[in-house]
Structure 1
């Protein structure tokens, strides 16, 4: 039997609020929270803690998904990449410069696209637009 988990997409207005919603839903009962990182989000989906612990499969209902898609779209993603490129940042600047160029050409992925790609890598999680 699938476990039902629901995300309120209207609560997602930027990257920080995406992680607030993820922590609210997935980390209930845990004494710690995941940070704003796609790698941390991916790790969470393996299910060894939080709401996914011991779940064989999950139906993830993402209410108001279109709102989240827009909120984590081009502008948010562009700002995210530019932040990675500031002088003194520890990130791989050439990687983020390429990602920014692709985004600006219209061929790159948005932050929302990256989230959906991560979810797609987890076959036990079925995403449902609610």
Structure 2
């Protein structure tokens, strides 16, 4: 089983999350994934980057508790609020519903969305370290 280590100390916002993902998963590629949850999901399928196909992965995420905070409610709220600045790109009604869900405690934080994406890949196990 391949072990991949995410250094949580390198992550303090969404931008640095993607920087860490690119450092860890894309070091052998001559390009980087975009700051997109869809791109992150695609990466986990194993067609490019560190993961090869459906190989078993132990994803060791150091300082995960800190990242749960740094990618939590406030970061997620700002993420959605920034999308509202580009109504020609993003569905305003959808984004407002996500903000409303957050305020009512039923919406997922950016961190929780990341974990949900990872959990969709049966070959990847997250280890809190």
TM-score category (smaller protein) = over 0.9
Deviation at 1:92, TM superposition (A): 1.1
Deviation at 1:54, TM superposition (A): 4.5
**More displaced, 49-58 or 7-16?**
49-58
Q: Distance in 1 between matches of 2:18 and 2:47?
A: 18
Match of residue 108 from structure 1: 107
Q: Distance in 1 between matches of 2:53 and 2:102?
A: 37
Q: How does 1:30-109 map to 2 (within 5 A)?
A: 30-54=29-53, 56-86=55-85, 88-109=87-108
Retained in 2: the 8 A contact 1:16–1:36?
A: yes
1:7-49 alpha-carbon deviations (Å, 9 max, x no partner): 0011110000000000000001100000110000000000011
Structure 1 stretches of at least 4 aligned residues deviating more than 6 Å after TM superposition: none
* Structure 1 residue ranges without an equivalent (≥5): none
Count of residues in Structure 1 that have an aligned counterpart in Structure 2: 129
Q: Distance in 2 between matches of 1:15 and 1:122?
A: 21
Matched, 1:124 2:119: no
TM-score (norm. length: structure 1): 0.95
Match of residue 14 from structure 2: 15
